[in-house]
Structure 1
Amino acid sequence: MTDSTASARRGPLVPFDDDIVATVADRTDADPDRLRTLLRRHQQSARELPGIDNLVYEWRRYLPHDPVVARTDEAFHCVVLPEVWADFADTLDIDDADFERLLAVHDRQARRAAETRGESTEPFDGATPMILTRE
């Protein structure tokens, strides 16, 4: 399978490493497939709002800081206010455990991606990272 075929098959989960999802699922006694479904639901929810690009544009206008830490071909790597994540949790109608799982996957993935790019993970310290798959 080529990289582009694998990317297309994974869709909104392209920027998320399987081992990170599996580790978070294992450490939180969750089913990895259920966690992947939750990640897909979150990405779909962001798409159903004004769309990923428009959502990031709005955040840049209204948040007290530029939320975009990195922009890759696959995703926006952002740091958002806890209230932004809370809004998504409400929209997704998820419990606290699933909310914490989502936060953990996004945090771990954002840090790994920064390290892979040779960048500091400091922007994610004490913050709430959110990765949004680009359309």
Structure 2
Amino acid sequence: MSSPDPGTLFEESVVAAVADDAGVDEDELRAALVDHQESVESLPGVENIVYEWRKEYAGPLLKRTEDAYYLLVPERVWSEFADHLDISEPEKAAVIDVHRRTVAARTNAPEEPPESGAYVALGRDV
């Protein structure tokens, strides 16, 4: 299994805009997005984590395509992800914003997730 191209999962224009808005380096943001995807793939795996979230949370799967899952999960999930990534707070906020914009653009979800919720886009194992 391999990571999807982050340019496929996340549009280059979105990554560039978020990096600019957040004042973070665009290449470092791309690297953080890849690191996040790889960390999910390595443990427990994309398919497994989506399965677990579907059992644990009420209706987290917003959309599934051949290439990706688009999810709404509790905000605390991002805290757990951040523990596995060695990134600054501004980079973490930028990663979350790329996911937010991507999920909102590719699903019928509102631009902002409901209170205490967060969006996550995960490339499916290929």
- TM-score, normalised via structure 2 length: 0.88
In structure 1, C-alpha distance between the alignment counterparts of 2:109 and 2:52, rounded to whole Å: 24
Where does the alignment leave 5 or more consecutive residues of structure 1 unmatched? 1-7, 115-119
User: Cα offset for 1:110?
Assistant: 0.8
SS at match of 2:9: coil
Where does the alignment leave 5 or more consecutive residues of structure 2 unmatched? none
1:104 is aligned to 97
SS at match of 2:69: strand
Taking the TM superposition and a 5 Å limit, the aligned residue runs for 1:22-33 are: 22-33=16-27
1:71 is aligned to 64
Which deviates more from structure 2 when the two are superposed, residues 90-99 or residues 100-109? 90-99
User: Cα offset for 1:58?
Assistant: 0.7
Q: Which has the higher contact order (CA 8 A, sep 6+)?
A: 2
- TM-score, normalised via structure 1 length: 0.82
Equivalent residue letter for 1:105: V
Moved over 6 A (4+): none
User: Cα offset for 1:122?
Assistant: 3.0
In structure 2, C-alpha distance between the alignment counterparts of 1:109 and 1:33, rounded to whole Å: 18
- Matched residue count: 121
Which of 65, 81, 87 does residue 80 from structure 2 map onto? 87
User: Cα offset for 1:91?
Assistant: 1.1
Could you say what the CA RMSD is over the residues aligned between the two structures, in angstroms?
Answer: 1.8
In structure 2, C-alpha distance between the alignment counterparts of 1:66 and 1:123, rounded to whole Å: 18
Percent identical across equivalent pairs? 34
* Contact preservation (8 Å) 1:79, 1:123: no
* Contact preservation (8 Å) 1:69, 1:123: no
Cα 1:123–1:109, aligned 2, differ >3 Å: closer, same or farther? closer
* Contact preservation (8 Å) 2:100, 2:111: no
**Larger Rg: 1 or 2?**
1
